[in-house]
Amino acid sequence: MPEGKPAYVRCVQLTADNLCLLFGKPERPAVCGSLRASVEMCGASNEEAAERLTLIEVATRPAPVG
Ligand code: SF4
């Protein structure tokens, strides 16, 4: 994704069973390798992760210009 991955867009490197095709490869973005998932961030299920990550996305969204 040379233009970056917008919020709410599924990464093209993510498989149907939610594994990263670039895991362990040098071309994996540094930000992905540095992210440390936690229970606070992801909860205990896909549903909880989606809910919590949406809240984080909204809370950290840049303010509109103008
Ligand atoms: S770890 Fe990064 S490159 Fe891999 S699937 Fe997730 S967002 Fe995509």
20 lines ligand 1 (CB under 6 A): yes
Contact by Cβ (8 Å): 21, 14? yes
Does the C-beta of 53 come closer than 6 Å to ligand 1? Answer: no
pTM beyond 0.85, yes or no: no
Task: Identify whether the C-beta of residue 52 lies closer than 8 Å to the C-beta of residue 41.
Answer: yes
Distance CA 61, CA 2 (A): 21
Instruction: Convert the pLDDT of each residue in 15-59 to its tens digit.
Output: 999 899 999 999 999 999 999 989 999 999 989 999 999 999 899
For residue 8, is pLDDT > 90?
A: no
